[in-house]
Each structure stands twice: as C-alpha cells, then as structure tokens.
Amino acid sequence: MSERTYDLIVIGAGAIGVTIAKDAAEQGLSTAIIEAGSEVGAGCSYANAGLLAPSHAHPLTGFSSVRAGLDNIANPYGPFRLVPSPENVRWIARFLLASLPREHGRAIDTQRRLSGASTAIHRTMAESGLATGFRQAGLLDVYREPATARSTIDDLHRHPLRPAFSVLNAAQLANKLPTAVGMEVGVLTTGDAHCDGYRYVRVVSERAAELGVEFHFNEPAEDLIQRNNVTTGVSTEYRDLKAEHTVVAAAEPSKRLLRPSGLHLPLINGKGYVVDLAKSSTDPDFPIGIKDEMIVATPYPDRLRLAGVMELTGSDSSVDHRRVGAMIRAGESVFSGLSSREVIETWAGLRPCVADGLPVVGRTHDPGLSVATGHGQQGLVLAPITSAIVLRQMRGQPGTPSGVDPRSISPERFRRR
C-alpha cells in the first residue's frame, strides 16, 4: 500500500469523474483519478450529441419508451430496442414499474430540475474560460406530422422550468431550415445549448491536472478497500491507494465495484451510435432533433454529427455498419445529399442506464464512499450538478443545490438489506 492518503479518489475519467476531480481540486482537496482506459473519455463520454437541453430532459422510463421497445422487438434496426434476456429481466421489471404515471412524473420533474441547474453551471464554466464548445443556439425539433409535434408542445407547456419556445409552421420551418424538405412542424426551444462532449472532458481534465489532480491511466480499480465497513481506498492490479473518500464514477462497471458494499444498482448498458460527416456550408448552426427518426444532428466547426439509437441489449460496443447506413438515410430527411458526404468517424458507446430512469448520485451510508453514475442519455449535461451534489454531501451538507430531493437520486435506494 502506498503511504500517501488522498483526500479523494475518483474511479472513472468520463464526463462525470473528471468534473468531480476538477471541482474537488478547486476546493483544495488532494485528488487522484483511476481510469481503466489509456486516456480520459475512454468510455461513453468519447462522443455524444452534446445537448445541454433542459427543455428536453426526460428519464428513459415512461409509456412512450415501453411502446417504442415493444414496437421494435422484432426490428434489429429500430431506434429504441429493449429485448428481454435472462440478464436484463429484473431490470425490465423495475423499468416497467418506474414507467407508471406517478413514478414517471416524479422522475421527469427531477431530471428537469437537475438539467436546468446543471446547464447554468455549464454556462458559468464556459464564461470562466473553459473552452468546452458551449453555445446557447437553441434546439429545433422537426416533425413530418403535426399530430406528433402536439405531445412535445403539450409537454413544454407543463414543464416546471417554463422553457421559452416557438412553434414553426411549414413555411417558417422552410425559412429557418431550407434543407428540411417535407417537414411540417418545427419546435424551437431557444434556451437550450450544446457543447462538444469530448472537448468538455479534455478541457475539464486539463484544468484538473493544472490544479494538481493525479491521473492513473490503464489502471482498472479492482476492489474498494474497506475497514470496519468504511471505504479507505481502492485496490488496482498494481497497488493499493488510500483515500479519505472514494467516488465510484465508472459507468456500468460501477455495479460490480459497489456490490460488496450492499449496493445493487439496476444498471445496464444502453448502446448508442455517433456518425460524423463532413460539414456543408448549408448546415445550420444549431442542433436539430429529427423526431420521427429519433436522431439528433449537431453541427460542429469541422463536422456534422448524427447521434441516436438506444439498444438495451448487452455490452457489445462494436459498430454495426447497417445501423450507420440507416442513420445516414434517416438524416437525409433533413439534410438532402447526406449520403454523398465523407464519413469522418463512426462510433458506438454504452450509456449507463438505471431502471428507474434517474442517476445514482450522492454519499452512501459508508462515510468514505459516494457514487456518481447511471446518467443514461444525460451524463454530459448533468456532470456539473452531479459534481456539486457529491462534493456538497461529502462535506456533510445535506440536500442538493438544485432543490431536488436527494433521496430520489441517492445510491441508498438500491441497498439490499
């Protein structure tokens, strides 16, 4: 065992882990990150749609997801796939319970409040000089059928944060987005923002390193070290590292690390795809939600990114090129000629998805252990608020800065007695 005792060890250098490490170092804590991969963003945070969109914050649960799952059971290329297997049957049972209207309604409210508070911190981070690519350019959802747009519009009217939005008819939409042929309705949420997810992880980790955070790459955490039921560090293949406090932020593998502590997270992987295409001068400078196809197109200075697909079917993160082709064809509905653009990069990654649709964030009954994972399709937007909650609870301050009931996201909701 190395002699040094860190104030904090964070397991996992994705968007969640690096944000916690940076913020901890800013608060004067000696901090180390242990990462299985060879660099930051080795997991799901490598690529995403980059949306920081409180207006769209929504848990994975709900009848629309259940319906989409059922519709796509026999379709291997459906945008949302939830296929029962011996490994995920318990997860599905919990997911169905959490999709009941009352539970789902509470989860929506929680996600929206967290997302609103976190997007405000993203803005502050960008204003303080962190070049994450943050831009508040709004988000335009486009629909072929006015009836499909209705539920989004109703939902925005009920939203607790009262996001600003406008509804565009076909002519207004054609003016705003001339390439979107055949789309009837647009819903523009002007307060939403986006950033570059990988750039976020890089600049936040660079800032953390400047503040003295130690990064240990290629060093998977094997076990938490415990003495008298209190976590006192982490053992890796090479050594034991001591810490006053440990945060597990390792996405789906967090499940295995936490089981000996009595925490049984209902966490499975939700595979998603990213397809980066060469930029065109006709691309808009704001993201587009192509709702009928369930994909998002996000413009970056050097590329147009298509992101989408939710396959809750296992741990395989390989890229299926038929999926890639299907996404490009889907993107054609808004960007004609997309198929002839150069494909810069394709990628698939595994989102950590919790059965009740809410992340797992906060201190456990073990005073040396916190958890920060399970953010599903919203880990980028929720990284700053997650860090704020974890560090606040670590200091013994109850509650959450967002006004969300800490019990609704606490790891203790998954303790098996």
Ligand X SMILES: Cc1cc2nc3c(=O)[nH]c(=O)nc-3n(C[C@H](O)[C@H](O)[C@H](O)COP(=O)(O)OP(=O)(O)OC[C@H]3O[C@@H](n4cnc5c(N)ncnc54)[C@H](O)[C@@H]3O)c2cc1C
Give the angle 127-290-201 at the CA atoms, nearest 5°. 35
Note whether 183 and 288 are within 8 A (CB): no
- Segment lying near ligand X (by CB under 6 A), choices 106-114, 246-254, 316-324, 397-405: 246-254
Nearest distance from residue 53's CB to ligand X, in Å?
7
Output 32 or 185, the one with its CB closest to ligand X: 32
**Helices first, then strands: H and E counts in the chain:** 10, 19
Output 98 or 249, the one with its CB closest to ligand X: 249
DSSP class of residue 39 equals S
15-26 and 379-394 helices, crossing angle to 10° = 40
Identify the residue among 23, 35, 276, 293 touching ligand X (CB under 6 A).
35
Nearest distance from residue 101's CB to ligand X, in Å?
25
Output 15 or 334, the one with its CB closest to ligand X: 15
CA–CA separation, 214 and 234 (whole Å): 15
- Segment lying near ligand X (by CB under 6 A), choices 161-169, 202-210, 345-353, 362-370: 345-353
Residue 378 touching ligand X (CB under 6 A) = yes
Identify the residue among 8, 21, 44, 224 touching ligand X (CB under 6 A).
44
Residue 60 touching ligand X (CB under 6 A) = no
Q: Which string of x and - marks every residue 300-329 that binds ligand X (by CB under 6 A)?
A: -------x----------------------
Residue 253 touching ligand X (CB under 6 A) = yes
DSSP string for residues in 296-362: EEEEETTEEEEEEEEE-S-S-----HHHHHHHHHHHTTTSTTGGGSPEEEEEEEEEEEETTSS-EEE
CA–CA separation, 324 and 326 (whole Å): 5
Residue 125 touching ligand X (CB under 6 A) = no
What is the maximum span of the chain, computed from C-alpha positions, in angstroms?
Answer: 68
Note whether 164 and 176 are within 8 A (CB): no
Identify the residue among 37, 133, 314, 406 touching ligand X (CB under 6 A).
37
Output 51 or 173, the one with its CB closest to ligand X: 51
Identify the residue among 284, 299, 349, 357 touching ligand X (CB under 6 A).
349
Residue 379 touching ligand X (CB under 6 A) = yes
Nearest distance from residue 147's CB to ligand X, in Å?
26
Strands (E), 12-97: 31-34, 51-52, 80-81
Tokens of 257: 């690390």
Radius of gyration for the chain, computed over Cα atoms and rounded to the nearest angstrom: 21
- Number of amino acids touching ligand X (CB under 6 A): 41
Residue 220 touching ligand X (CB under 6 A) = yes
CA–CA separation, 332 and 334 (whole Å): 5
> Residue 219: helix, strand or coil by DSSP?
coil
Identify the residue among 221, 243, 247, 267 touching ligand X (CB under 6 A).
221
Nearest distance from residue 306's CB to ligand X, in Å?
9
Tokens of 136: 């508040």
CA–CA separation, 254 and 247 (whole Å): 10
Identify the residue among 49, 225, 297, 394 touching ligand X (CB under 6 A).
49
Output 9 or 173, the one with its CB closest to ligand X: 9
Identify the residue among 351, 360, 385, 388 touching ligand X (CB under 6 A).
351
The residues that bridge with 345 in the sheet, in sequence order, are 276
Residue 135 touching ligand X (CB under 6 A) = no
Exposure letters 238-273 (e unless 16+ CB within 10 A, then b): eeebbbbbbbbbbbbbbbebbeebebebbbbbbbbb
DSSP string for residues in 76-110: TT-SEE----TTTHHHHHHHHHHTSHHHHHHHHHH
Output 37 or 84, the one with its CB closest to ligand X: 37
- Segment lying near ligand X (by CB under 6 A), choices 15-23, 129-137, 171-179, 325-333: 15-23
Residue 14 touching ligand X (CB under 6 A) = yes
- Segment lying near ligand X (by CB under 6 A), choices 101-109, 129-137, 237-245, 371-379: 371-379
Residue 17 touching ligand X (CB under 6 A) = yes
- Segment lying near ligand X (by CB under 6 A), choices 59-67, 75-83, 122-130, 349-357: 349-357
Nearest distance from residue 105's CB to ligand X, in Å?
21
Binding site for ligand X (CB under 6 A): 11-17, 34-37, 42-45, 48-51, 197, 220-221, 249-251, 253, 272-274, 307, 349, 351-352, 373, 375-381
